[in-house]
Structure 1
Amino acid sequence: MKSRKIEVSGGCQCGAVRYRASEMLDNAHLCHCRMCQKAVGNLFAALVAAPNDKLTWTRGRPAVFKSSDHAERGFCAACGTPLFYNSLDNDRINLTIGSLDAPERFPPVSQIGLEGRVSWFADLAGLEEGGETGADGNEDWAQSVEASSRQHPDHDTESWPPVP
């Protein structure tokens, strides 16, 4: 597995936990195992690793759940955002790609845990697409969500939440 010197940042939805990594591995992947599905509340976990010594928690600390004798999973205790999967027997931590500020920089290169992959996963690309407003075109709803959003922006901030 190759690594590359690349500065990345990320964090949870509410902004209570933020991190920065100065090096990333080239192992971006999807894990379909049932444990990952439960941990992220979704069909799969999208993960990419950073060496432990290249990761710094810049705001707050994640809560940790030891999901087995071999692994722990980190999340924000305030908003619940899944942040990482950590195998206890190596020197890297797999960050959730969705928690990165620029997730598009890490397209998955493999899939694992295929025994848990849902049978209709391959059909997802053929689904009808709707925009931010949803299939019904409700722009008022989308604007209301945007105006009242408490989601942390996709970049580091001096403090959070912002002072009015």
Structure 2
Amino acid sequence: MKGKCLCGSVSVETESVNEVGLCHCSMCRKWSSGPLHAIHTKQGIKFDGVEQITRFQSSDWAERGFCSKCGTHLFYYLIPASEYVLSAGLFPEENFTLASEIFVDEKPEYYELNPNSHKMTAQEVFEQYAPKE
């Protein structure tokens, strides 16, 4: 899959995926005024225009990346796992299926969840990604 930001200064290439997940946490909603539409890839991600990427460490465990020219949200980077979660909006030509929703306990009342998606609360997400002892 190939995608780019609104102004075209940053482009990204990654393996093809067909599923998108939503994050309803308060930080994602503040960042984008709605849930983050997230693409998880397991293979290499190649960015062009990296000099235009600004990173903001939004928590102890994550950074958010955006284009410094147009402000397009590019990724959420999970620091402990060294994993990029890409914004689905970068790939407007793709036909994604909504597969999962996380932080459903933080979702505001003014929009509905997909009844067929896999759902996890904040506690369930933190338990899944907690370091194994």
The normalised TM-score by structure 1 is 0.62
Deviation >3 Å, runs of 4+: 24-27
Q: Of 104, 108, 126, which aligns to 2:98?
A: 108
The structure with the largest alpha-carbon Rg is 1
CA distance in 1, matches of 2:29, 2:94: 19
The normalised TM-score by structure 2 is 0.75
Deviations 1:11-58 (A, max 9, x none): 21011111111x256762000100111122x2200001123x611112
For this pair of structures, how many residues does the alignment match? 112
Larger strand fraction of residues: 2
Output aligned runs, 1:5-154, within 5 Å.
8-21=1-14, 23-24=15-16, 28-40=20-32, 42-51=33-42, 54-61=44-51, 62-104=53-95, 106-122=96-112
CA distance in 1, matches of 2:66, 2:100: 24
Q: Are the equivalent residues in 2 in contact too, given 1:43–1:118 (CA < 8 A)?
A: no
Q: Secondary structure at the match of 1:38?
A: helix
CA distance in 1, matches of 2:48, 2:37: 22
In structure 2, the gaps of 5 or more residues are 114-133
Q: CA RMSD in A?
A: 2.0
In structure 1, the gaps of 5 or more residues are 1-7, 124-164
Q: Secondary structure at the match of 2:28?
A: helix
Percent of aligned positions that are identical: 30
CA distance in 2, matches of 1:103, 1:83: 16
Check 1:101–1:27 CA distance in 2 against 1; reply closer, same or farther (3 A cut): closer
